[in-house]
Structures are given as C-alpha cells and as structure tokens.
Structure 1
Amino acid sequence: MKRILLAAAFGAISLSACAKTPDPAAGANTAAAATATTAAAVKPAPGTADARAVAAIAGLNPNVTVETVGAAPLPGFREAIVGGQVVYVSDDGRYIFLPGAGGALFDSKAQKNLSEAALAGMRIKLLATIPQSERIVFAPENPVHTVTVFTDVECGYCRKLHSEIAEYNAQGIAVEYLAFPRMGIGSEDFEKMVSVWCADDRKAALTRAKDSGKVTDKDCKNTVTMQYDIGQRVGLTGTPMILAADGTQLGGYVPPKALREALDKLAADDKVAAADGA
C-alpha cells in the first residue's frame, strides 16, 4: 500500500521533520559507485537485475531519480544511489533495503514497509506505558481518528503543525502530544518541555512555547525523560513524529487534509486486511 511512509521512503520525512540531533558522521559508503552505471545516461538492458532494480525503485516512488545502479557488495542485491542515498535492491527486484538511521526493508510487490510492520506492534506496547494523563491532547468533540505526535518546542515543523491544530481537529483528528526534546536530556530545550509539562494549563503552556518560544520556568515530578526514552525506542529520527493508532508512522509534518486522507486510507486497508484474514 502506498501510504505517506512509502512516498517518504527516499527522504520526504527528513524534509518535513527537524533532526533529532546533528549527525557529523552522516553519509553513505558509495565505493561501488565507481563500477556502477549512470541511470540517467545509460538505460539498463531489459530483463537484467539493474533494470529490475530501477523499476522497483520507481514503483515505490516514481518521483525520484535513480542516479546510479550496479554491483553491490551484498550478494543477491544491486546497489543504487537515489537522492544521495544508497539503496540495495534484490536481484529479482522485489526487496528494497534502505540502510542507515531509520533504515527500512520494503516489499515492492506487496507495496509494504516490512520494517514498519515489525515496529508498529512494539510502538503500541511502548506507547501504552505512558499514562493518558501525561499526554497533552487537542481533540474535536467526536474524533474520527487519533494520532500520537512526538513534539518539540524548538522545532520549526512542530510549530507549523501546532499552528494548524484547529484544522487537524476540524478534519476529525485528535492529536495527543508526547514530549521529545530533540537536543537531549538536560538541554535548554529539555528544561522548556519540563516547564510545559509542569504547567497548570499544559495546553496553553505548549501553545505559548510554540508561538513565542517562551515558557514560565517550572519543575515538578514529570515524565518528559520517560517520553524522550520511548521516542528513541519507537524509532524516532526527527520531530514531529506522527503515529497512527495501529503504530504506523505517517510522517514528520503532514498537512491536515493529507493526514486525514492517509488515516482514512489506513483504516480502509486495515478493514480489507481483517476481512481477508477472517
């Protein structure tokens, strides 16, 4: 199924989320590129493993350009470079592996993120350990969908999402915020989020912090550290991180209407899957 997470396979999420922490070691090993063919200049011969690799990547996301494709150091796979990322595709074109932080294994035939499916169940269990009372909730009267959003008061995309909170609610989406101070425990960012979670009116404090960056300093027994730890364990690589009720990651920032469409599609597909399994 082509959900937002599939469209984001080659960088869309990273373009709509604030990085968790700077990564000076970021980059990919492209040693095999010296023997690769340039997809833009040389079309792989039909029926070859290179051609199947290019077709598989295009099937996952037709809007990306395969820059090179050729032999991989991993037996049974081809190596391609797509948007500056190294991608490995099985010789039969079915499986696509994106290594590195937030890496994932895709089944191009089933249009499914196999890594995401494995993570979803774990996320549900981890999120269940956070009491409802520790979530900052913005919800319409009768929500159709509920999402969990790991957020940060310093992140521009988190601020953009929150500036449209009324529209998310108008789309029938309840947003349950959890804290993820992306600069780490003990940082100024962390202290601001503690102050928000210790405020008498958390919703007002969070809105003020996102609007102006200002908070009234407060300290109390809180779960911000716990929420930060769980954010890391559920696979967060940037904020915001939007999770559907079934644990599926739906992106970084996603516009209200697009998020409603993705949630409706996810619910419909889950019904089909349940019927098929009955």
Structure 2
Amino acid sequence: MIQEPIVFIDGEAGTTGLGIRERLMSLPVRIHSVDPTRRKDPEARAEAMAASDLVVLCLPDEASREAVGMIDRIAAGGGRAPKILDASTAFRTAPGWVYGFPELTADQPEAIMQAERVSNPGCYPTGAVALLRPLVDAGIVPADMAISINAVSGYTGGGRTMIEAQERDGGPPFLLYGLNLSHKHVPEIREHARLTRRPLFVPSVGHFPRGMIVSVPLHLDQLSRRVTGADLRGILEERYVASAFVSVCEAEPVLTADALAGSDRMELRVHEDAHHHHVVLTARLDNLGKGASGAAIQNIALMLGVSPGKAPL
C-alpha cells in the first residue's frame, strides 16, 4: 500500500496557513501537526520537519530563514531533509529556489516538480507577472520600458494589525500605502516579469476582506511594434490556454475587486481605447486564493506528484 506523503505547516495558525490547511483536504496527503502549546518550540518543530515529506513555511521572512536553517541542520546531521514551500518574501528571488508560479512558462510546472525548494509568489506579483511576462517574452513590451503598476487588495493581506484596524467601526475605506516606493514585492515583480528597469508600483487597500485587482496602463505607441489590444489579448490567451486557474476574459467597463473572493482562479483582461492608443491590463484574483493559499496547493500537488481532488473554485 502506498503511503500518503506527509505535510507539515510551520505557522499553520496564521491566515495563509489556515487557508492551506483547509485546501489540503482536497489532496491525498497526511497533515502532521504539533501540539498547539509547542508550536513555537524549536525541538517540536524540528521533529515535525524531520518526519515530513514537505514543509510549508507560513512565517515572517526572518523566521522563514531560521526554519530553513533548521532543515539544513537536519540534512547536515544525516537526516532526510523534506522539500520546502516558503510563503514569505524571503526566497522569491534567491538563487537555488524555484519560483512557484506554474503558469510562468511552459516548463515551470516541471521545474516545480523537480525542485527541493519552492517560493510561493506574492499576491500582487502574481497579477503583475501574469500580465507582463508573456508580453516581455513576446518582445512586445520592452524590458527597459517605464512600467507603472497600480493595485488594490482586500485588507486580509495586511496581517493581524491591519485586519483589526479595518474591522473596527470607522476603519478607513481606502488606504494608499507604500508611498516610499520601495515595496518589498518590487524585486520579485522585476525579476520574474524580466524587467530590466525597476517598475513603479503603487499598492492600496480597500475596506473589503478579500479580493484584488492589479492594473498596468500602457501606451500602445511606446511598445516595440505596432499592436492592438486584440493582439495583446491573443498573446495572453496563448500563454494561459491550458491553465485551469488563469483565464483571459472579455473587457468590462467596471470591475469589482472582490468578485473572486473565495476562488483560486485569476482573470486577465485587456481594456482598450483604440482611438488614443491606450490599454489597461488588469488581473483580478483573491489575495488569499490564487494570491496565497490557492497557489500553495498548486505547488504542493506538483512537488509531491499528487493530483488535486477537485477543480479550482
């Protein structure tokens, strides 16, 4: 009888960890947990890691680095080191780590399957990279083009402090942040969209729990060759035609950010003003779905060689 692979979520009590644990019920795996009173006990965590086939890290950046160090010590001591899926920002541009966006290229799923260490993408970069990478690869968007990215997310992506602030009476209806223009997701977007010029990224938070829209405005006359919005849409359709999670949809005059709340899918659109040669690319997703836990389940299934139990919501 084939034994089901064992998964340990280090940080399973957080928002992303809880989402991953819930979704793991759709996979043929066993979840290894430690006693809640020992969740921060290094010895208990190390024992759980050593007993698992895959460890999912749902921790702050520095804590993720420390956890990877624990796994390195297991291997150095002669133990069998588990595979790692890290949900923090710590390793998304690090050498030796595979970027966990299966739709990135045609061979990315195989790279994730073979990897020992995979970094789960950020929510904002998931939308930005999905829109830009195919157009850069096609030679339509110059890698050194000045790119502006605007995004709005539900407040659940901001952690406990933001959630508490938003759920109090009188929580702010809209919050523009990252105005030092040094958001931690910029290096990730730049690297995986293959941009040689640093993009300008302006994130925001709305007074709704879940959902996200990432938008990229473009002047068609600044692209590498003459194209229309239909041409851009065709390139995106070709890239994602086989994906069960990413779809290219008809442009709409109005988009609500929370329409995919609770879903693990992402919708891409090309909105065009042909007269003025303007387009706006948009990606709509759930910041806790395809932007976090849903993406993690895609990666876990690939890393363990198991099939998801059901189609994405």
Structures share a fold, TM > 0.5?
no
TM-score (norm 1): 0.26
